[in-house]
Chain A
């Protein structure tokens, strides 16, 4: 009688502690025999001859590089940014130059915003936020990246930029695996806006943007004591939200 009771107690204790103690131990269910990305910490090798989804040139937003002038919308696109309702003042109206062959879509504020976002992730480390080719990585000793503000690149067709992103150029490797074809075009649209922003004059700005430039000027003066010439002030290129 006594013996049975101790045995039961011992059994119960083993069960309780066993279940609780074992709950957190690694078991087979933690590592099912199934495929997951980075199972062993490395990208799985891609079997020869496979084509990853969405990578084909058939992608509708990746049109052929066309002869000059035969693009889909050669007319300059008017970007009309939504002005913030708070102050009601109109922002500077700009027309994004489309280059000789244009874009496969209509350039809108939303597209430029996406382009800016991707540009600042993928390109700005080398080309800089202004596109002058003096990004952080160049400061650390990488070959100087091209400035987008040279005559040759201002005149280049938009598809040339798409081509450089897709196939690389000189010391710059291809960015095809980091940007989808659609995003590449959006980045190009943003580069066009950057080019425009650097050649815009103070007198061409809308009042709202002039005020923003003056404000930035005043702050800079306070900080450094050196006045910054408003005539050459850099205007943020997203059309509306210059700051």
Chain B
């Protein structure tokens, strides 16, 4: 009986094993990468809200501090959402008849809170706490981006575990002075650098702050039970 296959097909057969493994690896890699895309993490996708509330107007144009509305960000795990009354502090007079604010007035009359669409939402098995970050010099814009330029809110980070860990491994790359946490333009540029005549150099000033604020060692910050408790 003649040989069905030529000798060279042996090589082909071996090659196909290697290629098969490579292909499987490639598919795996693609899946993992797909996991990181905004399509999955919803990053950079603005959410519709019941009221067209604009951080760009309130923070960027009017200069209202984050803590006027997110009052508990320095003291509790949750940053806190403004009560309807907080809106009415100003909108009892400003745009008091604007159709855009009808839902706010309706909520004020009925006492039913406004239901905002959540933008950031960690799974319940991960523990996050705003106060520790804010009190150790991690600013809002490090995690939430330039909120003062957002007409509608979106998230700029994947909020995946690797994102948390990237900072928990090297906090000195992100930390800033505590009194600058709500500053949107950071690191300081020409226009807001008055307090830093020598400029701000993260490579030098970051590690100094890590010492000054007595951050815990990275071994603690990356231990599973810090975030999964």
Contact = CB atoms under 8 A, between A and B. Distances in A.
Identify whether the interface residues of A are mostly helix, strand, loop, or mixed.
loop
A177 B85 contact: yes
A152 to B, nearest CB: 23
Contacts of B102: none
A121 B94 contact: no
Interface in A99-140: 117, 120-122, 125, 136-137, 140
Given A122-B68, A140-B94, A177-B83, A20 B31 contact: yes
Query: What interface size band does chain A fall in?
Result: 35 or more
A171 interface: yes
Contacts of B78: 36-38
Given A36-B124, A38-B118, A42-B113, A24 B40 contact: yes
Nearest to A38: B81
B44 interface: no
Interface size class, chain B: 35 or more
B93 A142 contact: yes
A141 B28 CA distance: 58
Chain B interface SS verdict (over half): loop
Interface in A144-182: 171-173, 177-178
Nearest to A126: B90
Given A30-B123, A43-B83, A125 B28 contact: no
A30 B40 contact: no
B46 to A, nearest CB: 16
A222 interface: no
A32 interface: yes
Interface string A32-50: 1010111011110100000
B63 A42 contact: no
Contact of A142 (B65, B71, B94): B94
A60 interface: no
Contacts of A56: none
B35 A24 contact: yes
B93 A171 contact: yes
Contacts of A34: 124
B196 to A, nearest CB: 14
A177 B68 CA distance: 11
Contact of A173 (B65, B92, B113, B115): B92
B63 A125 contact: yes
B143 interface: no
A87 interface: no
A143 interface: yes
B116 interface: yes
Interface of A: 16-17, 20-21, 23-24, 29-32, 34, 36-38, 40-43, 45, 117, 120-122, 125, 136-137, 140-143, 171-173, 177-178
Given A41-B118, A136-B64, 18 more contacts: A20-B31, A30-B123, A38-B116, A40-B115, A41-B116, A42-B113, A43-B81, A45-B112, A121-B67, A121-B68, A125-B62, A137-B90, A140-B62, A141-B94, A171-B92, A172-B89, A177-B86, A178-B71
10 contacts: A23-B35, A30-B123, A36-B78, A38-B118, A41-B116, A42-B115, A137-B62, A142-B90, A143-B93, A177-B86
Interface of B: 24, 27-28, 31-32, 35, 40, 62-65, 67-68, 71, 77-78, 80-81, 83, 85-86, 88-90, 92-94, 111-118, 123-125, 179
What are the 3 A-B residue pairs with the smallest beta carbon separation, nearest first? A30-B123, A42-B113, A32-B124
